[in-house]
Amino acid sequence: MSSVPRPALAIIGGSGFYDFFGDDAVSLEVDTPYGAPSAPITVGQVEGRQVAFLPRHGRKHEFSPHTVPYQANLWALRSIGVRRILAPCAVGSLHADWGPGTVAVPDQLVDRTSGRPQTFFDNGGVHVSFADPYCDELRGAAIGSAVPELPLQSTATMVVVQGPRFSTRAESRWFAAQGWELVNMTGFPEAVLARELEMCYAAIALVTDLDAGLEAGEGVSAAAVFAAFEQNLVPFKGLVRNAIAAVEGTDTCARCRVHAGVTLPFELP
């Protein structure tokens, strides 16, 4: 058992992050009470530390945003020792000045999803503090890891929509009118499930498009989103590498420990 890796830090991201690891990386098949995660978890060395990687959409991008097994993903990571998660993701911009290639480190989240299992606590009367949905320590590491090629915004509110469709122009204009800057399809319930399992979590968002309410013409297309992500993937991965190196500590921070004095209906993995 001593040879089984126990990484404290994980990346939940896209398949483009597989090449973070060398030939010494190992693959872990993890079973959970919520079924199998999106894919086996890869564990290897990144910037001198042991890091786990889980592709949220699966190895072949087989999971749509609303079908990602979020509960299994977070449970699996916690069960192998992960306590801190960096979550790179693609987003649309609701801010005219934040064009493709902008990186934002959100500090707030708005949930506009529906029908997604979003808690581990269906019984037991457990209520989790979520006023500040992202870990300040991990956000600081990401903000301090900017690269010259990608302008970085250190605060943003990210609204998470159900998908898999993109927003209508009216929805996009409505979101922007609320003062929200980013729109995404996967950031919830990922963030709250991490909090329920007392894991630090921070999103690192790469803008791939201006959302429909800001953009003239035919609106957002999946092909354009994927192309913009690929175009900026190399410097974006460099930023994530920098953030991995900058993360201090291996345990959950005090703010993300939310169950003090609470009797849980089960033990955390």
Show which residues are catalytic: 209, 211
- Tell me which residue of 52, 80, 77, 55 sits closest to 68, measured CA to CA: 55
Among 135, 140, 245, 125, smallest CA distance to 194 is for 135
CB atoms within 10 A of CB 114: 8
pLDDT of residue 15: 65
> What's the pLDDT tens digit per position in 158-197?
999 999 999 999 999 999 999 999 999 999 999 999 999 9
Q: 30 and 80 in contact (C-beta within 8 Å)?
A: yes
**Given the structure tokens 């919830």, which residue do they identify?**
188
pLDDT for 1 equals 40
Amino acid at 14: G
What was the pLDDT predicted at 4?
Answer: 75
The token pair that represents 137 in the structure block: 């320590």
- The answer to whether the CB of 181 falls within 8 A of the CB of 93 is yes
Query: In order of start, what are the domains of the chain with their CATH numbers?
Result: 9-246 (3.40.50.1580)
Q: Strands, DSSP E only, in the chain?
A: 9-13, 26-28, 41-46, 49-55, 84-93, 103-104, 108-112, 152-153, 157-161, 182-184, 200-210
Measured CA to CA, the distance from residue 42 to residue 27 in angstroms comes to 5
Q: What are the structure tokens assigned to 180, written together?
A: 């929200």
Ranges of residues in the chain whose predicted pLDDT is under 50: 1-2, 217
Give pLDDT tens digits for 132-143. 999 999 999 999
Query: What's the predicted TM-score (pTM) here?
Result: 0.94
CB 209 within 8 A of CB 224: yes
Task: Give the DSSP per-residue string, 83-142.
Answer: -EEEEEEEEEE-STT--TT-EE--SEEEEE--S----S-SSS------SS-S-HHHHHHH
Residues 6+ apart with CB under 8 A from 229: 14, 16, 90, 206, 208
User: Residue 79: helix, strand or coil by DSSP?
Assistant: helix
Of the candidates 15, 17, 12, 39, the residue with the CA atom closest to the CA atom of residue 28: 39
What is d(CA 37, CA 31) in angstroms, rounded to the nearest whole number?
8
99: β partners: none
From residue 223, alpha-carbon distances to 27, 75, 113, 155, 182 in Å are 30, 32, 23, 28, 19
